Amino acid sequence: MMNIKPLWKNHLLYKRGKVELIPTAWVWRYRGSDISPMTHLNDGTPADLNILWKSICENGLRDPLIVRVGVRNKKFRLESGNHRIQLFYKNGIELVPVTIQVRDECGPHVADVTNDASHNFDAGGELLISKITSEYMKPSEVFKSLSK
């Protein structure tokens, strides 16, 4: 990923084989367009997009983006990484590290959402899975358009 230190390769989910680099453009299509403009750095410091980008460039990227999938309601959304995907897309980063979190339900209505956005997308026939076999999976194991 450009000159960004891939600290996400130290993440437990990567070490367990649950993270893959996937096209930024694919994730960009499923971002939350109504998220709050502010986010937080890894240490909890509030940050706007400029501060976040500076931090990523200087310190590296620690966590993969998380796409949550609901196998029962056949919905999915970018649960974690909505601010980062804006920066990667804007700055021409072609591939981003992503893991898929598999749940029964997905959407802004579930109790443990990690962002304030209302986005949710129909998976239609895009899902390769119909039940939960693991809480986290590689994107190519879940989405037909990303399968290898």
pLDDT of 116 higher than 80: no
pTM for this model (two decimals): 0.94
How far apart (Å, rounded) are the C-alpha atoms in residues 61 and 95?
A: 13
Task: State the average pLDDT for the chain.
Answer: 93
Burial of residue 44, with CB atoms counted within 10 A of its CB: 0-12 exposed, 13-18 middle, 19 or more buried: exposed
pLDDT of 109 higher than 90: no
The pLDDT of residue 13: 98
